[in-house]
Amino acid sequence: MKRLNPDKLYVELRHGVTNTEPVIGRKYTLTHSDITGDLFLTVGRQFAYDKINAMRDEVLAEWRTYNGYPFLYVYVYVDGQFGPGISAIRNNIFRRELPLALEAIRYGDDSLFVEHPNLDNAPIYIHFDSTNPNYNRFEYWGNLKDYK
């Protein structure tokens, strides 16, 4: 697994969020530059659709609750602009890069975890969205503390 280089992570807080609030409804949009390797984490009350490009290789995540307990719901669009023929390749890339993406979210929003330490124990569920049933999955990926 690639490790996060904090010098390559840029975090933007949007209107309606602070370093520590809110938790539920807090949304993350993680994009990157293939050229520089920079990661861009946008934290807001809405996803940063203005940061998403035609490749659709972003990682979207948000805090939700189930039976009163928080969990991080993560969404990736496996099919992308190239259609289902490329799904196997994109699925492999997402699976390889997701640990880095989760580490970037955990590191980039560290103040939230300092203020709400119980969130480190929150489960992560990832929705791999695809029209192909072989890649359309909903999976448990551990807890945030696993990506610290």
Instruction: Give 109-141 pLDDT, tens digit per residue.
Output: 999 999 999 999 999 999 999 988 999 999 999
Q: How far apart are CA 22 and CA 20, in angstroms?
A: 6
Given this model, what pLDDT does residue 80 score? 67
Report the b/e string of 40-62 with b at 16+ CB within 10 A: bbbbbeebbeeeeeeeebbbbbb
Task: Judge whether residue 16 has pLDDT over 90.
Answer: yes
How large is the average pLDDT for residues 22-42? 96
What's phi and psi for 105, nearest 5 deg? -65, -45
Given this model, what pLDDT does residue 84 score? 65
Given this model, what pLDDT does residue 56 score? 85
Can you give the pTM of this predicted structure?
Answer: 0.94
What's the Cα-to-Cα distance from 99 to each of 15, 18, 65, 139, rounded to whole Å? Answer: 28, 25, 22, 13
CB 112 within 8 A of CB 19: yes
Domains contained in the chain, number? 1
Other CB atoms within 10 A of residue 31 CB: 19
In a domain, 57, yes or no: yes
Given this model, what pLDDT does residue 95 score? 96
In a domain, 48, yes or no: yes
In a domain, 49, yes or no: yes
What's the Cα-to-Cα distance from 80 to each of 56, 90, 122, rounded to whole Å? Answer: 5, 8, 29
In a domain, 1, yes or no: no
Residue identified by tokens 């103040």 is: 111
In a domain, 16, yes or no: yes
Domain with residue 86: its CATH number is: 3.40.20
Q: What confidence tier does 7 reach under pLDDT thresholds 50, 70, 90?
A: very high
Domain assignment of residue 129, given as a range: 6-147
Give the model confidence (pLDDT) of 47-104 as tens digits: 999 999 877 899 999 999 999 999 999 999 998 667 667 899 999 999 999 999 999 9
Torsion of CA 97, 125, 30, 3, to 10 degrees: -40
CB 45 within 8 A of CB 27: yes
